[in-house]
Copies of this chain bind each other. A is one copy, B any other.
Amino acid sequence: MKSESSTVIVAARIRTDIISGVLPPRSKLGEAALAKQYSVSRIPVREALRSLEAEGLVESRPYSGSVVAPSPIEDAEDLFEIRIVLEAATVRRAARRSAAQSCEGSPDPGWWPIRKEINEILAAGDEVIAEERFEDLAVLNMRFHFAIAELSGSLSLVSLLRQISGKIEWLYSLNVTRRGPQAWPEHREIIAAVDAGQRDKASDLMASHVRRSRDSYFAMMSEQRPEDPAS
């Protein structure tokens, strides 16, 4: 396994704490406190905070420190809308790359490791479903979508997806449960279309997949809070 720098580890842990709700919006993120908590100096903490700031999870003002950004819950609809377009684009490019590779004899060295990983993710998901450990499905789901994005070969789309996914995960943290295992088999249809190089089909399937995810989210929200969440 490749070892990561402290900065990346600290950023990941703070991100998790924000997204999971351990650190609620407007929480003060004191550098000294975080440094002590993670047993590092302030330098990696500061760099992590800069990353999170660029991701829109943290707000910073000079000489005033960093606080957790307001929750993106007001933007839920817009974020899903954007995610539909974005993920449809990633999977389309993935299918395109798949087709280009099958027809011509282009090497594409980065393709198969990721393609292999997707199979592992799908298998792990099936196992998790069989054992009814549904709480592990969320992270596998995210890994699947990121793997598809990497399959697209486009760094810009991956970094955009990272930003949007973070926010959408954050939305879900306000609820407890997730969309159940009935969504999982859809992943296989998507990757099948990618493998077949069917761009339009892959794109449409992904868009529908994300749309259902969105509808499930809003259904959940209206169950828990019958009143309109806006303001």
Task: Check A189 for interface membership: any CB of B closer than 8 A.
Answer: no
Contact string against B for A residues 50-75, beta-carbon threshold 8 Å, 1 for contact and 0 otherwise:
11111110010010000001101011
Question: Which of A160-168, A192-200, A217-225 binds B?
Answer: A160-168
Closest chain-B Cβ to A180's Cβ sits at a distance in Å of 27
Find out whether the CB atom of B163 lies under 8 angstroms from the CB atom of A167. no
A54 contacts across to B, CB distance below 8 A: 50-55, 159
Q: Which residue of B lies closest to A100 (CB)?
A: B231
Please count how many residues in chain A sit with their CB below 8 Å of the partner chain's CB atoms: 43
Task: Check A5 for interface membership: any CB of B closer than 8 A.
Answer: yes
| Set B5, B82, B231: member contacting A160, Cβ < 8 A | B82
9 A-B residue pairs with Cβ-Cβ distance under 8 Å, sorted by A, are A4-B62, A7-B50, A50-B51, A51-B53, A69-B156, A78-B93, A79-B156, A81-B85, A82-B160
Task: Check A86 for interface membership: any CB of B closer than 8 A.
Answer: yes
Find out whether the CB atom of B157 lies under 8 angstroms from the CB atom of A160. no
Find out whether the CB atom of A62 lies under 8 angstroms from the CB atom of B157. no
| Set B62, B82, B231: member contacting A86, Cβ < 8 A | B82
Q: Which residue of B lies closest to A79 (CB)?
A: B156
Find out whether the CB atom of B75 lies under 8 angstroms from the CB atom of A82. no
6 closest cross-chain pairs (CB), A and B: A56-B159, A54-B54, A78-B89, A72-B156, A51-B54, A50-B50
Contact string against B for A residues 13-42, beta-carbon threshold 8 Å, 1 for contact and 0 otherwise:
000000000000000000000000000000
Find out whether the CB atom of A159 lies under 8 angstroms from the CB atom of B163. yes
Find out whether the CB atom of B62 lies under 8 angstroms from the CB atom of A3. yes
Task: Check A142 for interface membership: any CB of B closer than 8 A.
Answer: no
A56 contacts across to B, CB distance below 8 A: 155-156, 158-160
Find out whether the CB atom of A75 lies under 8 angstroms from the CB atom of B157. yes
Q: Which residue of B lies closest to A76 (CB)?
A: B156
A70 to B156, CA, bound (A): 9
Find out whether the CB atom of B50 lies under 8 angstroms from the CB atom of A156. no
